[in-house]
Every structure is written in structure tokens, then in C-alpha cells.
Amino acid sequence: MGSGARKRADAVRYETAALGLPAAGLIDMPEFPFAVAKFPNMEVNVKQFSIVNTANLIVLCFLGVCCCSQMRAQGLGLIARDQYSVASVCGDYSAIATYGPNIARALGFEVMDGHGNIRGAATVNQPGSDDTTRSISRIGISGTYTVEEDGSGKMDLSIALPGGGSASVSEDFVITKTKTINGVLIATEIEDMQEVPSAVIDNSSLVIHRYTLRRVLKSCVSGR
């Protein structure tokens, strides 16, 4: 047997072994056509094998495209759900204010309704008429707020002062912690800085606030 015929015979042995066909009678066959003649079903099986592989490949490609599309849709859905909005700031929050380097302090609460409205009150401890006294006063808080998709926002507040007057202040804030309640992303901690000097104490020091969620309102997670 020539080298060409031997190579063809070896190729036939490999293909018939892969297809589960009997290999007997092929070792000494001089030419590939005679091998096909001895096993007439081999050519048909090779074609069937190729068709099945092609069909499997098409199915795998289709499933891959479907999975990628579904993952992309789910990813977009997560992004959409994770975007902040005015509804993310909703609940009864404790409000702790610090004036300058601990010159004064305020302890209070603010209720934010998830629709941009605020109401609350606080007790302020500030320097008294001399270095040996402190002044304790009560203030009221009302106003509105907005929230950006990145979790930053702004409050525009009206402060009811002890003497009966009022003052307007603006505060820039950022949501620092959240949790998901009934599928709604709710801010649990917020920090801010006041744009203008204090309306409560006679001092131009920076005023900062920290808000911590104490209680989630039923309306915050019910959509009402």
C-alpha cells in the first residue's frame, strides 16, 4: 500500500471510530473508495453527524443571544431601580445640627414625606449672655426638598424662631446610606451643609446636619 493510500485508510479508521462504526476490514484496504464501498452507510452517517453538530451550534448561539439580552435587560432594570429620587428620602429622621467647632448644637427631628415636603422641630443649645451661661430655645422647621439621581439634593427651609420671627436657609445634602424596603430604595442616613450662616445663633460658623432614619412611614413604601 502506498503512503497516500495508507493515510486515507488511517483517516477512515479515525472517522469510523468517532462514529462508532466497525473498523474490521479497513486495515489492509488499498484505497478509500473501497472502504466506502465496504461500509455504504458511513458517508450517510458522516453527513448526519455534521448536520446534528450544525443544529446544536445554532441552538447554542440562539441561547447565548437570549441569555445576553436577558442579562442586559436585568442590568438596566437594576440601574433604574437604584436611581435616587425624591421618594428615596421618606420617613421620620432624627436631625442633629452642629454649629462651627461645637459652639452650639441642635437636637430634633424632620419628617420627609417622599413628595418633597418637610416638617419638624428642634431644641437648640447655644452660648448665653456671658461665658457662664447657655441658652436653650425651641425652633420649628418647614420647607421643601429635591433629590437628584446621584443621591445629592437640596433643602429650602423656613425656620420659626423663638421670638416669633422666621428665617430662610438652604442646605445641600447627600444620601450616605440606604436600604431597600418593599422594593423601594430609602435613605437611612443623610449629611448636609448649610449654604448660609446660622439663622438661630449669632455666628457665621458653618452649620452641618446629620439625619438618621428612625421610622419608615407607611406611605413611603405603599406608593400613596
Whether residues 100 and 206 fall in one domain: yes
Asked, for residue 28, whether it belongs to a domain, the answer is yes
Asked, for residue 101, whether it belongs to a domain, the answer is yes
Whether residues 160 and 109 fall in one domain: yes
Asked, for residue 43, whether it belongs to a domain, the answer is yes
How many whole angstroms separate alpha carbon 216 and alpha carbon 188? 9
Residue 87 has pLDDT above 70, yes or no: yes
Residue 97 has pLDDT above 60, yes or no: yes
Asked, for residue 223, whether it belongs to a domain, the answer is no
Place of cell 442633629: 96
Distance of CA 124 to the CA centre of its chain: 38
Q: What value does the mean pLDDT take over residues 74-83?
A: 51
Angle of helix 3-19 relative to helix 42-82, nearest 10 degrees, comes to 60
Looking at 30, 48, 82, the residue that finishes a domain is 82
Whether residues 101 and 211 fall in one domain: yes
In this prediction, residue 201 has a pLDDT band, given cuts at 50, 70 and 90, of confident
pLDDT at 8: 61
Whether residues 67 and 100 fall in one domain: no
Distance of CA 148 to the CA centre of its chain: 15
Whether residues 37 and 108 fall in one domain: no
Global model pTM greater than 0.75: no
Task: Using DSSP bridges, classify how beta strands 134-147 and 117-127 pair: parallel, antiparallel or unpaired.
Answer: antiparallel
Whether residues 76 and 96 fall in one domain: no
Rounded to 5°, angle at Cα 197 from 193 and 201: 110
Number of separate domains in the chain: 2
Asked, for residue 221, whether it belongs to a domain, the answer is no
Closest CA to 84 of 181, 149, 178: 149
How many whole angstroms separate alpha carbon 151 and alpha carbon 189? 11
pLDDT at 27: 45
**pLDDT tens-digit readout, 156-199:** 999 999 989 999 999 999 999 999 988 889 999 999 999 998 88
In one-letter notation, the amino acid at residue 172 is D
Looking at 59, 82, 105, the residue that finishes a domain is 82
pLDDT at 203: 74
Whether residues 132 and 211 fall in one domain: yes
Whether residues 117 and 76 fall in one domain: no
Whether residues 191 and 160 fall in one domain: yes
Q: Which residues constitute the domain of residue 134?
A: 86-216
Asked, for residue 197, whether it belongs to a domain, the answer is yes
Whether residues 78 and 134 fall in one domain: no
Residue 104 has pLDDT above 50, yes or no: yes
Whether residues 44 and 104 fall in one domain: no
Looking at 56, 82, 108, the residue that finishes a domain is 82
Q: What is the 3-state secondary structure (H, E, C) of the chain?
A: CCHHHHHHHHHHHHHHHHHCCCCCCCCCCCCHHHHHHHCCCHHHHHHHHHHHHHHHHHHHHHHHHHHHHHHHHHHHHHHHHHCCCHHHCEEEEEEEEEECCCCEEEEEEEEEECCCEEEEEEEEEEECCCCCCEEEEEEEEEEEEEECCCCEEEEEEEEECCCCCEEEEEEEEEEEEEEEECCEEEEEEEEEEECCCCCCCCCCCCEEEEEEEEECCHHHHHCC
Place of cell 433629590: 147
